[in-house]
Structure 1
Amino acid sequence: MASISDAVNNRRQQPAVDDFGNADFSFAPATREKAKARLALMGVSGSGKTWTGLRIAHGLDTRFAVIDTERGAASKYAGINGISFDTLQLTSFDPRNLIKALAAAAAAGYGAVLVDSLSHFWSGTDGTLEQVDKAAKERYGKNTFGGWKEGTPLQNSMVDALLSYPGHIVATMRAHTEWSLERNGNGSLEPKRIGTRPEQRRGVEYEFDVVAQMDVNNTLSVIKSRCPALHGQVVEQPDGQQLAATLLDWLNDGAAPVDPSTYIDRATAADATYDGLRALYGEVESRGLQATPMLDPATGDGTSLGDYIRTRGTALRAQ
């Protein structure tokens, strides 16, 4: 089986011909299919994001994994209320590491993944901001705008992998902390710590179906929801499993979707041909599954289904 590196070498020797990605722009009747959760929890330190995220993930699927960037914070809750999970602790938050972690979780068959927290892949060690700074210094004469030529695709690929994971996704995000003067029960003004927006690239919250903000009193406020039953909800000390049950009722109302693993099996089949992969890419593209995270069977690297099909097909064509 040709690896990604083989394909790169072949592309240097062959004319740049890309027969993949020529989508048929024809409309079809819309159909509602069952879907997987895409939920984000944002809040300041101490608001209960990790515990609430664990409860929601457990309610969505009892076999779930945690991608932990918080130095083992989630593991401190293991066993409480019968919640058990597998964990992967990361210390480098290169967006490509999250793509590989999601690909590994998909290969292991986890029905849900909690990313605690997504903020580190933006502003943590080796995160997007550091990738931009590094590229600017090393290749663009310290020009930050040049650095974003590399940082933006990394960030976008990471978000695409999150949204294309074949199971449920729950992501926590730290919130930028600000202080507000508010009146207490005695009528006196006192400072109150509030979170204003997630510590991630501006606008990332638009990518999730449900976004909730949590405050230091452990009150959850749904600030965006495509699930009508959760719209505008404000819940004190939320029961994450009840929230998950409400979300599942909405997610499971529809026809059975296509399982992305069937496309991965076809893409990695030993007898795959160039023409077959080109046709397969068209199917995957029509279903919007190009960004599905997977592990390259030849290299073990994290990649996407669309990139893998394109790269393997190009390698077979060169042969």
Structure 2
Amino acid sequence: MARISDHLNQQRQAPADSDFTDSDFTFAPATREKIKARLALMGVSGSGKTWTSLAIARGLAGKFAVIDTERGAAAKYAGVNGIHFDTLQMRRYDPRDLIKALAAAAQAGYGAVVIDSLSHFWSGTEGTLEQVDRAAKKGYGGNSFAGWKEGMPLQNSMVDALLSYPGHVIATMRAHTEWSLETNDRGKKEPVRVGTRPEQRRGVEYEFDVVGLMDTDNTLTVIKSRCPDLHAAVIERPDGGAIAKTMLGWLNDGAAGVDPSAYVDKATADDATYEGLLALFSEVESRGLQSTPMLAPDGQATTLGDFIRARGTAIKASQQ
């Protein structure tokens, strides 16, 4: 792990070639393309998040994997109702490690990835909160506010890689439920749920296209959906296969999109040139694919944009 971490740190610290800059903000006609699922399931322990996510993933892709932070919880369902998958057990939750795991999953060609759960990469061992605390103590005299200067970029890079994965992504998150004492229609005070938020960065749920809240009765309430057929849906004992079928109807309603692996192949080609990589970087950036997780030819985890920039800079330096 140390070699991969060192490699990524060197890329972040190395001065970027001035030619590899942001695009020129040119507008183009909007077109609807086929997309991949970005689904989040929130809920308290025992609400059925893991099983539901596995059933949906099986319906979305024939080959899928689970990045498991719940000490093997997902594996207990292996083979149930014919669901089979590969799993990666994680014991530390540095956000950079999730990027590496996603890069390995992309290299292996998994059509869908379940992250069970994303909460650990926020509040678990070496998660974002611990990274912030460590940075504050190390360089800012215990000032936690200043520690976010180092911690938040790690969090943001992780979320960018998750959203740029070249397949379907389902993330489970533990939920905090907030209650308020309200007066009911009989004039008596009773606890009423006034809000639920994930145990993750505040607002992270808005990064997903579909967000569901599960309760201890195993009822799924869709609290956000860009898929019209799932808007505000309330589903008792959800059928993951049926949900996947509904989502696929919406996800596949569009023109054929670009497979990120095509850009990876161009970026890693032996005959790549500096000018060609510049053009490729511009196209990748215009499509929002620069954060796509990938493995470089040497097996190191990186992102597509960082790899193109680093390789172009190296080719230019070798020509001088």
Q: Report the TM-score when normalising by structure 1.
A: 0.91
Query: Aligned ranges for residues 1-319 of structure 1 at < 5 Å?
Result: 17-178=17-178, 196-298=196-298, 300-319=299-318
1:276 Cα deviation from its structure 2 partner: 1.3
Contact 1:7 1:312 in 2 (8 A): no
Distance 1:190 1:241 in 2: 37
Post-superposition CA distance 1:285-316 (Å, at most 9, x none): 11111010001222x23211001111111111
Change (3 A) 1:278 1:142: same
Amino acid at match of 1:212: G
Contact 1:55 1:241 in 2 (8 A): yes
Query: Which segments of 5 or more consecutive residues in structure 1 lack a partner in the other structure?
Result: none
Change (3 A) 1:189 1:6: closer
1:106 Cα deviation from its structure 2 partner: 0.5
Contact 1:6 1:315 in 2 (8 A): no
**Secondary structure of residue in 1 paired with 2:21:** coil
Contact 2:22 2:285 in 1 (8 A): no
Q: Report the TM-score when normalising by structure 2.
A: 0.91
Contact 1:175 1:195 in 2 (8 A): no
Comparing 264-273 with 190-199, which one deviates more in the overlay? 190-199
Distance 2:200 2:226 in 1: 21
Distance 1:22 1:77 in 2: 45
Amino acid at match of 1:313: G
Identity across the alignment (%): 73
1:22 Cα deviation from its structure 2 partner: 3.7
Distance 1:234 1:146 in 2: 42
Distance 2:16 2:143 in 1: 30
**Number of aligned positions between the proteins:** 311
Distance 1:19 1:73 in 2: 47
Distance 2:252 2:16 in 1: 44
Change (3 A) 1:5 1:69: closer
Distance 1:153 1:243 in 2: 34
Change (3 A) 1:182 1:48: farther
Post-superposition CA distance 1:33-63 (Å, at most 9, x none): 0000000000011100000111111111121
Amino acid at match of 2:101: A
RMSD across aligned positions (CA):
2.6
